Amino acid sequence: MPIPCHSHNDYWRKVPLFSALHVGCVGVEADVWLVDGKPGLYVGHDTAALQPNRTFQSLYVDPLVELLHRSNPHTEFYNDTRRGVFDADPDQTVVLLVDLKTDGAQTWPEVLKQLEPLRSGNWLSYVEDGVVHMRQVTVVGTGNTPFDLLTQNTTYRDAFFDAPLGDMWEDPDAPTLDLPRPSNTSFEYNATNSFYASTSLKDAVGLFFAGLSEAQLKIVRGQIKGAHRRGLKVRYWDTPSWPIGLRDKIWHTLMEEGADMLNVDDLKSASEKKW
């Protein structure tokens, strides 16, 4: 069953991509590197971890293509491409968060090139003439991804931006009815160019030891309100992994306040929670 969890540093898993999908995570993260003189993109936390056989295509693009082919067989009963990777919810998209670690202007075109097998299968969520069409895989660029380059094509694009959640705070106590109703393009970051709105929880609220204070909760609520008015999904990273009690409390608090995606390292624990 799909659950709102994002597999942080997914490439560290024993089996990247599949470990996350196995527990129901609907989002995975790949740190990608463009290496001078080498074809393709390499996946790893830093350059010391890069290996010739661990590429963006081999760990993520090709396995997703194979999974989607298996989910959409051509038989006498079925001949379509509309099903995603989760049998329990075939309409659920898988978010592929691509964290660019090398120069964005050089790396982003290579990311788009590497996505061609998914693009040719019509499996990528896209925007055409200002209308968002959700498909089985939604690609989101973060890290060094250049916003201006990602949005350069104003008529069609099949990748989205990870927008800065810290810039979106709105007074959570102000009645929403008093605010102007936003259109798709009312804000620089909106649903036609971005998918997530993300920030480090520590950067957003500062230090916390036993949970979030009322002042910290007001920051979280204001950021979530601003992101949701822009049509974006909220994701906080840099959440505590220890002690377990604090981790679980923060997880539940964020989800109760309206965060859309839980950034997790411990997949098993996340899959056992009731969200």
Task: Give the per-residue pLDDT at 167.
Answer: 96
Task: Give the per-residue pLDDT at 79.
Answer: 83
Task: Give the per-residue pLDDT at 184.
Answer: 54
- What is the chain's length? 275
Q: Residues 66, 60, 200, 125: is their CA dihedral positive or negative?
A: negative
Task: Give the per-residue pLDDT at 183.
Answer: 54
pLDDT tens-digit map of 147-165: 999 999 989 999 999 999 9
Please tell me which residue, 81 or 6, carries the higher pLDDT value. 6
Per-residue confidence band for 70, with pLDDT thresholds at 50, 70 and 90: very high
Q: Which of 79-88, 107-116, 261-270 has the highest average model confidence (pLDDT)?
A: 107-116
Residue 160 — φ and ψ, nearest 5°? -125, 170
Q: What is the rounded average pLDDT of the residues 244-258?
A: 95
Per-residue confidence band for 199, with pLDDT thresholds at 50, 70 and 90: very high
Q: Is pLDDT at 185 greater than 90 in this prediction?
A: no
H or E stretch at 133: strand 131-133
Residue 227, class by beta-carbon neighbours within 10 Å (0-12 exposed, 13-18 middle, 19+ buried)?
Answer: buried
Q: Is pLDDT at 274 greater than 70 in this prediction?
A: no
Cβ pair 193, 143 in contact under 8 A? no
H or E stretch at 140: strand 137-143
Cβ pair 159, 115 in contact under 8 A? yes
Calpha distance 82→84 (Å, rounded): 7
Task: Give the per-residue pLDDT at 156.
Answer: 96
Lowest mean pLDDT among 18-32, 75-89, 254-268: 75-89
Q: Is pLDDT at 178 greater than 60 in this prediction?
A: no
Q: Is pLDDT at 275 greater than 60 in this prediction?
A: no
Cβ pair 41, 57 in contact under 8 A? yes
Calpha distance 266→242 (Å, rounded): 11
Say which DSSP state 124 is in: B
Task: Give the per-residue pLDDT at 232.
Answer: 97
Per-residue confidence band for 13, with pLDDT thresholds at 50, 70 and 90: very high
Q: Is pLDDT at 181 greater than 70 in this prediction?
A: no
Q: What is the rounded average pLDDT of the residues 221-234?
A: 97
To the nearest whole percent, how much of the chain has pLDDT over 70?
96
Single pTM value for the model:
0.94
Task: Give the per-residue pLDDT at 273.
Answer: 74
Write out the two tokens for 137.
């895989």
pLDDT tens-digit map of 75-99: 999 888 789 999 999 999 999 999 9
Calpha distance 177→157 (Å, rounded): 32
